[in-house]
Structure formats: structure tokens, C-alpha cells
């Protein structure tokens, strides 16, 4: 951030989005105009209102195909099959529209729709896959904002492990009646 005089004009030199971000320079006739421009840019940057990142229009179906082509996961093949299934369901629900037209409200409706068919733990798994998809879209320059931001997971009741229900807890470590399960 700098406002300096060059000849008889004032230059506002404003770096945005950190050290490696974009740098905007404008020339003004007065110092006060240059300072105002600099402050306005910083406020817009803080609010996330700057359109510095150009969005490339792409449909959800094409992006899902690109996602599976480029996003390598270190997971098992069965996880990849599940991810294809999850994203196909999302595509069927919202349709093959541009990524920029998908809103958080649509995803909330999708979540409510899925609650009628599957358990909360399954919905949370599907939401994690969906969040990953949209985070990649932002990283690759297709979105400025992610519609999954602020999307809450469903509460899942934690069940006690089946083996822990069968084996009584050891009250006294030296008691031979309460030996460990294995060993």
C-alpha cells in the first residue's frame, strides 16, 4: 500500500490478496483522491466484493467430469465409485446448470430431499464430497465463492462400540475376573 507523488500527479499502488496477489495502480490529480481510492479497494477486499478473479463459466456436469479427471485421491477405488454416485445424485437434483448459479439454498433443499431417503451419517458423507467438489472449483478459478460455505452437517448420535457393550469394564486391574478381551 502506497500513495506517492510522481511528477505532478499522485499514484495509488495497492497490492491485493497478500504478497503474491494482484497489484492495482492508478494515477490521480490529488493526494486525497489517491488515498480514498486505496482505502476503498482495501475495504472491498476485506468484504470480498472485488471481482479480480475472473470466473470461467462451466456447467456442473462438465466440472464433475473434469474433477474426476484431475482430482487424484489417495483413497480406495470403492471411495471413487461412491463419489461418482454422490455427485451423480447431486447433478440429477439440481440439473446441469452453471456452477455460478448453484446457491446454498439449493444445497439446503438437496440436503432436505436426501433426509427423506437416507440416514444423517450418509448425508454428512455426501456433503463432504460436495464441499470438496466446490472447493476445487474455487481453487481452479471457476468460482469466487463456494456455495457450501456455512453449510452445516447433520447431528449424528454416536453409538457405543458393540464390543464395549459385551465386555464389562475392568474395575480393578489386578482382578482375574476382569481380564482384557484380547491377551
What gap in Å lies between CA 65 and CA 80, rounded to an integer?
A: 13
Other CB atoms within a 10 A radius of the CB of residue 17 amount to 12
> 94 pLDDT band (50/70/90 cuts)?
very high
Q: Note if the pTM is more than 0.85.
A: no
Query: Torsions phi, psi of 145, nearest 5?
Result: -120, 145
Other CB atoms within a 10 A radius of the CB of residue 127 amount to 20
Contact 99, 137 (CB under 8 A): yes
Tens-place pLDDT, residues 34-56: 999 999 888 888 777 776 555 56
Q: Which residue has the higher pLDDT, 127 or 74?
A: 127
Amino acid at each position: 500500500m502506497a500513495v506517492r507523488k510522481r511528477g505532478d500527479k499522485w499514484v495509488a499502488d495497492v497490492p491485493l490478496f497478500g504478497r503474491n496477489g494482484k497489484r492495482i495502480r492508478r494515477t490521480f490529480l490529488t493526494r486525497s483522491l489517491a488515498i480514498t481510492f486505496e482505502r476503498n479497494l482495501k475495504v472491498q477486499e476485506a468484504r470480498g466484493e472485488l471481482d479480480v478473479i475472473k470466473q470461467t463459466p462451466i456447467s456442473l456436469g462438465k466440472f464433475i467430469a473434469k474433477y474426476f479427471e484431475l482430482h487424484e485421491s489417495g483413497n480406495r477405488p470403492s471411495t471413487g465409485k461412491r463419489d461418482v454416485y454422490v455427485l451423480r445424485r447431486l447433478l440429477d437434483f439440481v440439473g446441469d446448470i452453471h456452477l455460478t448459479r448453484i446457491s446454498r439454498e439449493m444445497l439446503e433443499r438437496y440436503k432436505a430431499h436426501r433426509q427423506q431417503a437416507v440416514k444423517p451419517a450418509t448425508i454428512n458423507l455426501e456433503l463432504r464430497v460436495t464441499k470438496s467438489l466446490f472447493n476445487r472449483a474455487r481453487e481452479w478459478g471457476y468460482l469466487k465463492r463456494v456455495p457450501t460455505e456455512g453449510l452445516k452437517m447433520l447431528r449424528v448420535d454416536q453409538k457405543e462400540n458393540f464390543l464395549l457393550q459385551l465386555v464389562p469394564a475392568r474395575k480393578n486391574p489386578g482382578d482375574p475376573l476382569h481380564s482384557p478381551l484380547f491377551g
